[in-house]
């Protein structure tokens, strides 16, 4: 059984199905970020009840704590964190750059200082595959070389081409099955920054390797929404229709709607969970800052008609109280709502694509989800 089946297309927008050894997920899909082996502030059952079907784990965080061998000893990431559905792990490369101390990148890999104890370690393509093999996610990501920001002249091309070489090392290194005996699907990552020629070269090289899926990396790093759109429009037509496309680390609801229009199938982002912990929620009629005094006595749910646990049970007034009192439950309840919103947004997009009315769906919802709610 192949990882991806395309069910419907509407313009470039696609509706499909991911099928893994840990069950299926309809696409477009938003994957919740479970950095250290949990989506922050919620139980796996609350994540599932919110409509989330794929959870992401961060290889860097898990390899430094509790360690890949410990996760494997506890049955792998699925069993340890009690997530029965599909999972994806990243390569660890991004956090090596963003979290660890001074690091040096060579053709061999990335030398970094573990941000917990300062110990120097090496992350190579082979090591990333070894760790992800032990964690046991259904989808694993190649290690890529990440240019600094702003990238020095020539560095963008060098890192993109090195990333292709590292992809080949990842493919050679990844065992046929996870440590738990399940299939793992290795995605390559299209790089090249905002240089469309480099992006096309990267995509072409990856597609020649006939991968189970293709990610688009290096976006949502400060470029304009117009620039992001330009990259997606250059890259997605080069990718085969029969494999899923994953836009890494993106983003706002409007970013998802625009990227889906370009043919992207998969997303992940810390945004809905992170902003929830800072008292912001997404609704179909825009964003709400829940510490705002206007909510003090509101008996309304966050979003009238919303079927999430939070909206079925609690008023804005109570939620604001919890946030002002710095009660953990406030963060938990806002996280549940935001996860549900992202799941509903992608489910709504899918339904519109299947019905051949995705453009109308975007025209109706994009201006409102991007605005300020009431």
The piece of 207-215, 260-268, 324-332, 350-358 that touches a copy of itself (CB under 8 A) is 324-332
| 330 vs 41: CA distance, rounded Å | 10
Give the active site residue among 90, 138, 144, 265. Answer: 90
Q: How far is the CB of 312 from a copy of itself (least distance, A)?
A: 9
Binding map of a copy of itself across residues 21-40, x = CB under 8 A, - = no contact: ---------------xxx-x
The residue length of the chain stands at 374
**Separation between Cα atoms, residue 182 and residue 63, nearest integer Å:** 20
Q: Is 323 in the site for a copy of itself (CB under 8 A)?
A: no
- Check residue 56 for interaction with a copy of itself (CB under 8 A): no
Helix-, strand-, coil-residue percentages of the chain, each rounded to 5? 40, 20, 40
Catalytic-residue membership of 90: yes
The region of 203-211, 214-222, 255-263, 308-316 touching a copy of itself under the rule CB under 8 A is 308-316
Nearest partner of 272 among 76, 24, 4, 41, judged by Cα: 41
145 is catalytic: no
List phi, psi (to 5°) of 36.
-105, 30
* CB distance 3 to 18 below 8 Å: yes
Which positions ≥6 away from 315 have C-beta within 8 Å? Answer: 298, 299, 300, 301
Comparison of 44 and 251: residue with beta carbon closer to a copy of itself: 44
Residue pair 6/242 in contact (Cβ under 8 Å)? The answer is: yes
Q: Report 189-208 residues binding a copy of itself (CB under 8 A).
A: none
* Smallest gap from residue 110 Cβ to a copy of itself (A): 22
Should residue 296 be labelled a site residue for a copy of itself when binding is judged by CB under 8 A? yes
Examine residue 274 and tell whether it contacts a copy of itself (CB under 8 A). no
Task: Please tell me whether residue 107 binds a copy of itself under the rule CB under 8 A.
Answer: no
In 3D, which of 22, 7, 278 has the Cα closest to residue 138?
Answer: 22
Q: For a copy of itself, give the closer residue by CB, 235 or 336.
A: 336
Give burial (CB, 10 Å; 0-12/13-18/19+) of 40.
Answer: middle
* 276 lies in the site for a copy of itself, by CB under 8 A: no
Applying CB under 8 A, which of residues 149, 197, 328, 355 lies at the interface with a copy of itself? 328
Question: Nearest distance from residue 297's CB to a copy of itself, in Å?
Answer: 5
Per CB under 8 A, does 180 bind a copy of itself?
no
Instruction: Pick the piece of the chain touching a copy of itself (CB under 8 A) from 10-18, 191-199, 210-218, 291-299.
Output: 291-299
Binding residues for a copy of itself, total number by CB under 8 A: 38
Note whether 82 binds a copy of itself by CB under 8 A.
yes
When the beta carbons of 225 and 321 are compared against a copy of itself, the nearer one is 321
Assess 65 for contact with a copy of itself (CB under 8 A): yes
118 binds a copy of itself (CB under 8 A): no
80 binds a copy of itself (CB under 8 A): yes
- Region binding a copy of itself by CB under 8 A among candidate stretches 59-67, 135-143, 152-160, 247-255: 59-67
Q: Which of 163, 178, 169 is nearest to 68 (CA)?
A: 178
State in angstroms the smallest separation of the CB of 290 from a copy of itself. Answer: 13
- Residue 341's nearest CA partner among 43, 52, 48, 15 is 52
Residue 171: which residues within 8 A CB-CB, separation 6 or more? 186, 209
Q: With beta carbons less than 8 A apart as the criterion, state whether 121 and 108 touch.
A: no
**Which residues is 89 bridged to in the sheet?**
57, 140
Question: Which residues share a beta bridge with 190?
Answer: 216
Q: Beta strand 139-141 with 120-123: parallel, antiparallel or unpaired? A: unpaired
Using left for φ > 0, alpha for ψ between -120 and 50, and beta otherwise, residue 242 falls in alpha
Return residues touching a copy of itself (CB under 8 A).
36-38, 40-44, 61, 65-66, 70, 73-75, 80-82, 296-297, 299, 309, 313-315, 317-318, 320-322, 324-325, 327-329, 331-333
Residues with active-site annotation: 90, 268
């Amino acid at each position: 059984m192949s990882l991806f089946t395309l069910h419907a297309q509407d313009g470039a927008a696609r509706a499909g199905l991911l099928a893994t050894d840990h069950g299926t997920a309809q696409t477009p899909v938003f994957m919740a970020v479970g950095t250290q082996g949990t989506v922050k502030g919620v139980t796996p059952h609350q994540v599932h009840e919110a409509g989330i079907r794929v959870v992401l784990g961060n290889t860097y965080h898990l390899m430094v704590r509790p360690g890949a061998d410990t996760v494997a000893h506890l049955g792998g990431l699925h069993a340890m964190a009690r997530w029965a559905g599909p999972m994806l792990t990243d390569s660890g490369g991004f956090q090596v750059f963003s979290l660890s101390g001074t690091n040096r990148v060579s053709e061999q890999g990335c030398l970094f200082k573990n941000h917990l104890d300062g110990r120097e370690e090496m992350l190579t393509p082979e090591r990333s595959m070894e760790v992800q093999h032990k964690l046991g996610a259904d989808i694993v990501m190649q290690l890529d070389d990440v240019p600094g920001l702003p990238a020095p002249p020539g560095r963008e091309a060098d890192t993109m081409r090195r990333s292709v070489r590292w992809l080949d090392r990842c493919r050679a290194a990844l065992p046929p099955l996870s440590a738990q005996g399940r299939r793992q699907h290795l995605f390559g990552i299209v790089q090249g920054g905002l240089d469309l020629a480099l992006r096309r070269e990267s995509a072409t090289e990856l597609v020649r390797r006939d991968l189970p899926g293709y990610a688009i990396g290096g976006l949502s790093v400060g470029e304009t929404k117009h620039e992001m759109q330009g990259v997606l429009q250059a890259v997605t037509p080069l990718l085969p229709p029969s494999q899923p496309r994953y836009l890494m680390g993106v983003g706002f609801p409007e970013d998802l709607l625009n990227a889906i229009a370009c043919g992207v199938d998969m997303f992940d982002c810390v945004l809905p969970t992170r902003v929830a912990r800072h008292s912001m929620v997404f609704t179909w009629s825009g964003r709400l800052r829940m510490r705002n005094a206007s909510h003090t006595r509101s008996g309304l749910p966050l979003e009238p008609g919303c079927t999430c646990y939070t909206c079925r049970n609690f008023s804005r007034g109570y939620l604001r109280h919890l946030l002002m009192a710095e009660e953990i439950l406030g963060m938990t309840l806002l996280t549940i709502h935001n996860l549900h919103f992202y799941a509903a947004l992608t489910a709504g997009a899918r339904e519109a694509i299947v019905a051949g009315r995705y453009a109308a769906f975007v025209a109706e919802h994009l201006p409102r989800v991007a605005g300020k709610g009431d």
